[in-house]
Amino acid sequence: MALRIAVCVKQVPDPETPASAFKVDESVNRIVPAPGIPPVVNGFDLHAVEAALRIKDAGDAEVIILAAGNDFVMDVMKKPLSMGADALVLAEDPIFEDIDAVGTVKVLAAMIEKTGPFDLILGGRQASDWDQAHVPLGLAEKLGLPSVTLARNVEPQDGVVRIERALTDGYQVVEAPIPAVVTVSNELGEARYPTLRGIMAASRKQPERLTLDELGLTANDLKPDLSLRRLFIPESESQVEIIEGEDEADAGRKLALRLRELNLI
Amino acid sequence: MAGILVIGEIQDGAISAVSGELLAAAGKLVAEGVSGGVSLAVMGDDLSAIMAVQAPGADRVIRMSDPALKDEGTGGYDAPVLAVAALNESISPDIILFAKTDFGAVAGPRVAFKLGVAVAQDCIDVALDSETGRVAVTRPVFGGNALGIYDFNGDGTQVVTIRPGVFDPVEGEGSGTIEDFDVSDAVSRVRAVLVETIVQDSEGVRLEDADVIISGGRGLGGPAPFEQLQELADLLGGAVGASRAACDAGWVDHSYQIGLTGKSVKPTVYLSVGISGASQHMAGLSGARNIVAINKDDNANIFKSARFGVIGDWEKVLPAFTATVRDLAG
Ligand SMILES: Cc1cc2nc3c(=O)[nH]c(=O)nc-3n(C[C@H](O)[C@H](O)[C@H](O)COP(=O)(O)OP(=O)(O)OC[C@H]3O[C@@H](n4cnc5c(N)ncnc54)[C@H](O)[C@@H]3O)c2cc1C
């Protein structure tokens, strides 16, 4: 029987935006989108999509992408489809700009209830915008499922999922009963690039959309417990001493001498 | 509801340094007016050696001992999460502090969501808002490109994880009380189980302990140059690190990765070679005392945080640097 796998993904500003183009509008506590730099699907979420697709490649699985957010760019959000996912389900509402993780978890849990049941629910280890690394964990608690983080390999077996969990020095093998929530890390290996065929197939697929109402939620259910009071770019003054020389090798030599002079090496 | 519950960690049989940092954060909140006292909870299979005197800043130390709590229960951290939830029910703190370690980064959110309340991850400051009586936290966001100050609204338990290395641990001897809290029932509901742990033994100096780190990035262009970094590190008694780009490319193992999602290091000298200095990389360097950068791009972000820099091609700069170091040593 085919496994059903949900992958939760998020649209985020491109984290490779150069620091010089990274701007904050302090009057509304928002990031100013960098001109000409489109948003992306959060990188670790693409690793989660890759993990799901590897399971699909190895056997039989249906991979469904779930996302809650605002101002979706369809070319961006369809990337998991063009990588090979089967369906895309979106909940899009301006209210999602200002909800906290407790709210996000409520929305995703309702989406899972509508589109489930699932054997596995995957997500990235952390989103590159707010860096909280906790929505999948919340989802697991809300749904009453076990959770395992930082997967570098995800392998469903008879009634359990076997996960290699990345540690800073090595890894652990952890087993959890299915259904389970798993967060995926970049140690899994690169996410596949969409093929031309994949892109064509994705262009023909339309996302399924769910409204707040259809999810059985109201704005009141999503009032944040944690709210952003202030967002700003910390001041930093460069104090760098640039070591110069007759040529690059000489500069390298002088750098060593300077560090020795200060007893640093 | 009252007081602060600090979730300590045990390392090599003793209360870890990071736990002392959490007690310092708790002390700051108490000084600002949080009442109800500070409780430090520790978990493990045998905590008989843990005494209140080892926990300066804690009014009471609560030991939760159970075989299931050995090494934090590891795997999915089910056992410690269940234990903390049970303790929370018994003492109803206003605030729960975790360290944002491998353990706390998972257990903090899991406990919060079990209680149905919000959690603020990876905070570098905590403060009491005297008007609302609630906690406000400061945390790096967008990989450290920006800082956010957040308020806890409503009246639920406030769960915070604190970035290690930010607060100085409380010094001196503890004078609190000590008690045991039975969690044998709570921890029986574990689901994710640890099958095995495979530790990659790194040779030589550990990155986390190294006083000198030579670190390479995408600018090195391949795995071979890392041998030159290793040679220099050996000369200086240091360790080799890397950016995520170099690890993801497969040039070195992920155990070399420094940064937000890698290791945090605190060397006296951090020499970065061909690393641009993305904020996510710099997030692992807040404890580094002297950042030295070799980069061919004078606009590279790394020069904003570096104390010394050479603008140039590492293939020319580094061999001369290494040769000079060897001469100085010889
Ligand atoms: C959520 C999230 C978490 C992340 N976590 C981490 C993390 O923990 N650690 C981490 O490192 N990154 C992390 N990253 C990635 C980070 O954003 C950067 O992509 C990464 O650090 C870039 O690595 P780099 O500096 O080696 O490569 P690049 O940014 O490509 O920089 C290469 C540099 O080499 C220089 N160069 C090239 N050739 C030469 C030469 N011949 N001589 C001298 N200089 C040369 C270039 O001028 C350039 O500055 C994370 C990203 C996200 C989104």
The residue of chain B with its CA nearest to that of A129 is B142
CB contact under 8 A, B146 and A234: yes
In a domain, A260, yes or no: no
A13 lines ligand 1 (CB under 6 A): no
Asked if pLDDT for residue A246 goes beyond 60, the answer is: yes
Distance CA A115, CA A95 (A): 22
Residue B202 forms part of a structural domain: no
Lookup: tokens for B83: 């234990």
Considering only CA atoms, which residue is closest to atom 52 of ligand 1?
A: A128
Q: Assess contact for A146 and A136: CB atoms under 8 A.
A: no
Q: How far apart are CA A231 and CA A93, in angstroms?
A: 22
pLDDT digits (tens, 9 = 90+) for A119-136: 999 999 999 999 999 999
A169, part of any domain? yes
Rounded to 5 degrees, φ, ψ at B236 are -100, 5
User: B239 and B161 share a domain?
Assistant: no
Q: How high is the ipTM of this complex?
A: 0.94
Which chain A residues touch B318 with a CB distance below 8 Å?
A: 252
- Are B214 and B179 members of one domain? no
**Residue B93 is assigned to a structural domain of this protein:** yes
Question: Does the beta carbon of B228 lie inside 6 Å of ligand 1?
Answer: no
**Which residue blocks in chain B are alpha helix, DSSP H?**
17-31, 78-91, 104-115, 225-236, 244-248, 279-282, 302-305, 314-329
Q: Does some domain include residue B283?
A: yes
A154: which residues sit within 8 A by CB, 6+ positions away? A51, A54, A55, A120, A122, A161, A162, A163, A182, A184, A188
Residue B65: the pLDDT is: 96
Percent with pLDDT over 70 in chain A: 100
Q: What is the CATH number of the domain that holds A78?
A: 3.40.50.620
Distance B96 CA to ligand 1 centre (A): 35
Last residue of a domain, one of B131, B160, B189: B189
Q: What is the pLDDT of residue B75?
A: 66
A35 domain-assigned: yes
Domain span at B166: 4-189
Ligand 1 lined by B243 (C-beta under 6 Å): yes
Our measurement of the distance from residue A164's CA atom to the centroid of its chain's CA atoms, rounded to an integer in Å, reads: 19
Question: What is the residue range of A180's domain?
Answer: 3-222
Using a CB-CB cut-off of 8 Å, the residues of chain B touching A184 are: none
Q: Ligand 1 center to residue A107 CA distance, Å?
A: 34
> pTM (2 decimals)?
0.95
Q: What single letter denotes the amino acid at residue A182?
A: V
As a whole number of angstroms, the distance between CA A124 and CA A92 comes to 20
Kindly determine whether residue A233 and residue B147, on different chains, have CB atoms separated by under 8 Å. Answer: yes
Q: Do A264 and B290 touch (CB under 8 A)?
A: yes
Could you read off the pLDDT of A190-208 as tens digits, one per residue? 999 999 999 999 999 999 9
With respect to residue B233, please indicate whether it lies within any of the assigned structural domains: yes
Q: Is B160 found in the same domain as B50? A: yes
HSE-up of B276 (CA within 13 Å, CB side)?
Answer: 14
What ligand 1 atom has the least distance to the C-alpha of A126? 1
Distance between B262 CA and the closest CA of chain A, angstroms? 7
For an interface test with B, the pick among A44, A225, A263 (most B C-beta atoms closer than 10 Å) comes out as A225
* Half-sphere exposure for B212 (CA within 13 Å, toward CB): 16
CATH code of residue B60: 3.40.50.620
Q: Write down the mean pLDDT value for chain A.
A: 96
Residue B197 domain flag = no
Say if residue B231 is in the same domain as residue B146.
no
From the CB of A15, is ligand 1 less than 6 Å away? yes
Most A-contacting residue of B113, B281, B305, B328 (CB-CB within 10 A), to test interface: B113
Q: List the 300-319 stretch of B: residues with Cβ below 8 A of A.
A: 301, 303-313, 316-319
Domain count, chain B: 2
Whether B195 is covered by a domain: the verdict is no
Q: Which residues contact B59 (CB under 8 A, 6 or more apart)?
A: B37, B38, B39, B176, B177
Residue B275: which CATH number?
A: 3.40.50.1220
Examine residue B198 and state whether it is found in any structural domain, yes or no.
Answer: no
Please report the pLDDT score of residue A237 as a whole number.
83
- Is residue B65 in contact with ligand 1, taking CB distance under 6 Å? no
Domain final position from B189, B217, B236: B189
The model's confidence at residue A168, banded by pLDDT at 50, 70 and 90, is confident
Say if the Cβ atoms of B141 and A175 lie within 8 Å: no
The CB of B296 under 6 Å from ligand 1? The reply is yes
CB of B178 within 8 A of CB of B15? no
Predicted local confidence at residue B182, as pLDDT: 97
Per-residue pLDDT tens digits of chain B, which is 330 residues long: 589 999 999 988 899 999 999 999 999 999 999 999 999 999 999 999 999 999 999 999 999 999 999 887 766 799 999 999 999 999 999 999 999 998 999 999 999 999 999 999 999 999 999 999 999 999 999 999 999 999 999 899 999 999 998 999 999 999 999 999 999 999 988 899 889 999 887 778 899 999 999 999 999 999 999 999 999 999 999 999 999 999 999 999 999 999 999 999 999 999 999 999 999 999 999 999 999 999 999 999 999 999 999 999 999 999 999 999 999 987
Q: What's the pLDDT at B1?
A: 53
User: How many cross-chain Cβ pairs, A to B, lie less than 8 Å apart?
Assistant: 262
In a shared domain, residues B181 and B237: no
Query: How many domains would you assign to chain A?
Result: 1
Q: Is A258 within a domain?
A: no
Verify that B222 and B164 share a domain, yes or no: no
- A37-84 confidence digits (pLDDT tens): 999 999 999 999 999 999 999 998 999 999 999 999 999 999 999 999
Nearest CA among A234, A137, A245, A39 for reference residue B81: A137
Do B103 and B214 sit in the same domain of this protein? no
Is residue B201 domain-resident? Answer: no
Q: If contacts are CB pairs under 8 Å, which of residues 239-268 in chain B contact chain A? A: 244, 248, 254-255, 260-263, 268
Looking at the fold, whether B287 and B260 belong to one and the same domain comes out as yes
> Considering only alpha carbons, which residue of chain A is nearest residue B197?
A172
Taking CA atoms, B256 is separated from B181, B200, B222, B242, in Å, by 39, 11, 15, 5
With an 8 Å Cβ cutoff, is B194 touching chain A?
A: yes
Residues B82 and B179 in one domain: yes
A-proximal residues of B, 11-70, CB under 8 Å: none
